[in-house]
Structure 1
Amino acid sequence: MRWLRQVLGRKESPLDPGRQEALLHDVRQRFGAGAQAGIAQQVDEVTRLLDGDDGLVVAGRIVGEAAEGANAELLAQAFDLHRRTGRRLVVDRRNYRPLWQAAGRELRWPFYALPGGFHPYVQVTAAVTAIGGQAPQVARVTDPYALLTHLFEVLDLTVVGWEYGRVRVDVDAARLVERLIATARELRAAMDEQPPLPPPVRELMRRNNTVAILDPAADRVVGGVNLGAELRVGLLV
């Protein structure tokens, strides 16, 4: 793999783990639901902070932590549901849709309670944006295949939240999905070999319905998104 060959071929790594930890702590503590600035403003500021090689490594860690944290939260919910009701639920990271189709009303959308405190529409959206804007460089400083898997996992969980988890589809939610699709496209283009698209993405591609987008400040429709069309245009190359 190109990314591994390039990392191993360096005489001296320019990456600074100490700076990465400091940046990760800063992004975690200063931004999110409790910040005074609006979500769009926070996304822009965090995206600027995640510039350069260390910032891109941190962006990858944010996306990975969101995916790992969401999976851990769903496993805990499935265990609790089994303990209380005897129902056994399969939590498959490759495709969350069957889980939510079976028990969506009994599950909580995991991105609102991530263990690390990241907000899906702030830090996660900013990390995805930074990765998409510098995809060729991302493929040189981290494993793009693992990162792409996490991007698709976040996309899957976001959309099933809309469909089965009673998550409101507002401007901030739509921004996250739009940037996930665009970033997946850019990252795939930067890879030596493009892996197959995961089953949830292929299922969504077969659809042609439009989802209404609400204004986050009021219950009024301000637009719409056709996920099937967006995915077909963005990922079928």
Structure 2
Amino acid sequence: MRRPALILFCGLAMARAQTLSPLPPTPAATLIPWLLEEKEELTQLPWRDVIFYTTGKKVLAINPTDETDQRVLTQIGSALDELLKRMSAPDSPVQNSARINEVSTSFENMIRHLLDAAPGLSCDFPKTVEGRVQRSGYPDLRLVDTRTGRVYYVDPKLYAAGSRASSFRTFYFEPKIATNKVLDDAVHLVLGVEHEPRSAGHWNFTRWDIVDLAHLKVRLKAEFQGSNHDIYRPDAIVGTSAKE
């Protein structure tokens, strides 16, 4: 008669253990404490690692002794010299923009045009992994040396005079699969163009830099987002004004 009692006891013990077992953690319960630790390694992430583990593609460094890299850099520099002249000219369309943010699209279009017109270079807006052209998101331009097929991803950026040493965030990358635009092992470059404050209705663009991102360190900034569609759900509204 002991066997049924033993089976009953074991069954009750197992049921109690299952009752007391903690529920599987939710994604938020796992993620948020990890983020709040503010791990040092999340503030010094090599850009090449971010790209590789997001896209499977390598970030290549500019080789100072490579003929192709040096030729392409020279051509980019010539295009940027011309860009400064055209954008600073009194009759430039950008002079009609009151804010520098409004200049960005014209700036990007002009540098694409100048690079695409350079002998032996082809420059266009990169396509996503789904084959669609998408202007938003990194990188802005895909430059190809037609002689070798070498790819350079180019991200033009404007910055105000005196702000080169600023710690304000100016470089962003949002890892996504469907809208990924990094489809090649490539050199990644920022083309930085400095501008003076607008004076007497005139923008003056003064200098440029070509920056190799192969050794850039980036940091992760966690941010939770919601749209108006998410917020103003009928089932969530608990009060509203009377209709007129």
TM class, shorter-length: under 0.3
Scaled by the length of structure 2, the TM-score of the pair is 0.27
Scaled by the length of structure 1, the TM-score of the pair is 0.27
Which one has a larger percent strand, Structure 1 or Structure 2?
Answer: 2
